[in-house]
Amino acid sequence: MLLFTNLNLLARVDNPLENTSLVSNRLKLTFEHKIEKVRYFTIKKNGIIKHVYDIKNALLLSGKTIKNLKADGVESLRIGQFNQHILRIVIESKYFLAKRHRLKNRTLTIYLPSYKRVLPKTVKQIKKYHYSRKRHQKLVILDAGHGGRDIGASNKRVREKDLTLSMTLRLREILKRMGYRVLMTRSKDKTVSLKQRTDFANKYKGDIFVSIHVDAAPIKRTPKVKYEGITVFYLSTKNTKRINNRRIVYRGKEVYTIREYKQMIGDKKRIYAKKLAIKVRNSVLRHLRKRYRDVNDKGIKRKPYWVLLATTMPSILVETGYISNKNEVERLQDKTYQSVLVYGIAKGINSYFGL
């Protein structure tokens, strides 16, 4: 009698793995019996995340480790017998899991770290970000750099004016979906002078002004300077004589020098512009680096660009990358890259407004 009880206690129910399927980013494991327990944990090392699943009392009948499974965004995937009680699944990836795994009776579903799913690829996927009424009170002026006769920088057939328009249209779409009011200084390929751009922004009294550009390395390159990455500019506080004495038109006929203009708008605008620049830069890098780990940060810089100076609201100019850089020119033409980049800008704007 005693012996019988002991045997019963010792006898664990082996639960053999019956079937394994991998469809897109979903790994499905089906066992013979109901799954008892799954333990999930991660180990991070050198930028790689090891996602480990231990399945209690599960058994790999062949005893041979399964390692021929391949998936997007996954470095390696192994299913093996860890010890006689535990079946272990190890997924190595640079990314976090798309969703929590699901356990249902005999089936364990693991959502592999497919970055495509976590990041907004198209505007449609951004729909889920809730619309805010408060955002409706904010007007964002978007400025697609160059246009028409002014092609901006170029690299073979790739022209800055096309890239800036494409990115700005995407940005408008995202901001609108979030609930912002948005106006653009140009929404098609046409020539718009710098003065027309700032006059437009001032006329409609935008809350912020965001200008989108693409950088290019100068012909005479400075050694050690990396001509790659993202820079966010805001108004310079440097007072060079040449700039300060430039005359600008403000509100129709009145003409001021830039020195007078600066005094007129005060420091407040510049302080807010700096805040906006910081928020946008941080957000863009954070979002882009989830997928493109090597994106270079050129930081926040001050420049007395016309659009930063002659706008009455806090304004920034985003240099989204270098058209002259082989890697970046490819990415800047890529729709996904553009979407993630402008999504980062939109989220940065959100955080600037505290919404």
Q: Which residues bind Zn ion (CB under 5 A)?
A: 145, 152, 213
* Closer residue to Zn ion (CB): 79 or 201: 201
The C-alpha angle with vertex 34 and arms to 28 and 37, in degrees rounded to 5, equals 80
Residue nearest to Zn ion (CB): 213
* Closer residue to Zn ion (CB): 213 or 331: 213
* Closer residue to Zn ion (CB): 152 or 344: 152
In angstroms, the CA 234 to CA 254 distance is 25
Identify the three-state secondary structure at position 256: strand
**Which ranges of the chain would DSSP assign to H, the alpha helix?**
2-10, 115-118, 123-126, 160-178, 194-203, 241-244, 258-265, 268-291, 306-309, 326-333, 335-353
Nearest approach, Cβ of residue 145 and Zn ion (Å): 4
Nearest approach, Cβ of residue 151 and Zn ion (Å): 10
Nearest approach, Cβ of residue 148 and Zn ion (Å): 13
Nearest approach, Cβ of residue 160 and Zn ion (Å): 5
- Name, in order, each residue with C-beta under 8 angstroms of 112's C-beta and a sequence gap of 6 or more: 25, 26, 27, 71, 72, 73, 74, 77, 91, 93, 97, 98
- Name, in order, each residue with C-beta under 8 angstroms of 54's C-beta and a sequence gap of 6 or more: 38, 39, 40, 82, 86, 87, 88
In angstroms, the CA 141 to CA 184 distance is 6
Nearest approach, Cβ of residue 283 and Zn ion (Å): 21
User: Among positive and negative, which fits the CA dihedral 337, 292, 350, 195?
Assistant: negative
Nearest approach, Cβ of residue 315 and Zn ion (Å): 15
Closest by CA position to 180, among listed 349, 32, 333:
349
* Closer residue to Zn ion (CB): 213 or 274: 213
| DSSP collapsed to 3 states, 68-81 | CCCCCCCCEEEEEE
Nearest approach, Cβ of residue 270 and Zn ion (Å): 22
Q: How many CB atoms lie within 10 A of CB 325?
A: 20
* Closer residue to Zn ion (CB): 60 or 158: 158
Looking only at the bridges linking them, the beta strands covering 107-111 and 26-31 are antiparallel
* Closer residue to Zn ion (CB): 145 or 348: 145
In angstroms, the CA 230 to CA 345 distance is 12
Nearest approach, Cβ of residue 29 and Zn ion (Å): 52
In angstroms, the CA 148 to CA 310 distance is 22
Nearest approach, Cβ of residue 37 and Zn ion (Å): 58
Nearest approach, Cβ of residue 319 and Zn ion (Å): 8
In angstroms, the CA 265 to CA 261 distance is 6
* Closer residue to Zn ion (CB): 181 or 302: 302
In angstroms, the CA 171 to CA 341 distance is 9
In angstroms, the CA 221 to CA 244 distance is 28
* Closer residue to Zn ion (CB): 175 or 317: 317
* Closer residue to Zn ion (CB): 54 or 228: 228
* Closer residue to Zn ion (CB): 113 or 145: 145
